[in-house]
Amino acid sequence: MRRSGFGVWLLLLAPCLCGQSPSASTQEKAALLTAKHLLVSSFDRGLPRVSLEFFLNYEADGAPVNWDATECDEAPPTSTIDRGRDSQLCVRAEFDLDHRVGTVLVLVEASGDLASTASKLVGVRVKDLSGTIRSIPLRTLPMEMHHPPERLPRDRDFHLAVSRSAPITSSE
């Protein structure tokens, strides 16, 4: 009797121990996979027909691209999918070059069976050395990430002061 009682308690506790993390984890993995395979041309016809993952890896120029699923705080309030039975996740892809951080946020809406999804580009942002964050179109991400960092006014003044105070002379 005692053993069967223990077995019953174990069966009752098993769902509590597991919680909903496996389904949430499955949903996050599906959202990440969906976002990585989206064509950037679906967001902007002027961009090539390559996956978002390929596009960002190329633009990151060897820097790691960090992908994570997050709640959609910035998602548009209206959706093409009924809220009662479906869920939303945003996938954030972020990479850091020496002088800028690029972030792409994609809304992935999935039905319960994860077979049908609708995705939207929520935003693209670039943060520079001074901490300024700017929202930009996806098509300008390559240009924004790869042009040299702007020098701060004090850096320009320092270089001007050095060049004015130390004339170049030849030693012949």
83 falls within a domain = yes
**Beta strand residue intervals within the chain, DSSP E:** 65-70, 87-96, 100-110, 117-128, 133-135
Residue 101, domain extent: 21-147
H or E stretch at 144: helix 141-146
Least Cα distance to 30 among 154, 125, 113, 129 occurs for 113
Distance of alpha carbon 112 from alpha carbon 87, whole angstroms: 8
| pLDDT score, position 72 | 79
Q: How many domains does the chain have?
A: 1
| pLDDT score, position 170 | 55
9 falls within a domain = no
Distance of alpha carbon 124 from alpha carbon 136, whole angstroms: 6
| pLDDT score, position 23 | 58
| pLDDT score, position 165 | 54
159 falls within a domain = no
69 falls within a domain = yes
Q: Which residues of the chain have pLDDT under 50?
A: 1-22, 75-85, 114-116
Distance of alpha carbon 137 from alpha carbon 49, whole angstroms: 17
Instruction: Encode pLDDT of 83-124 as tens digits.
Output: 443 567 899 999 998 789 999 999 987 655 544 467 899 999
The SS3 assignment for 142 reads: helix
113 falls within a domain = yes
29 falls within a domain = yes
39 falls within a domain = yes
143 falls within a domain = yes
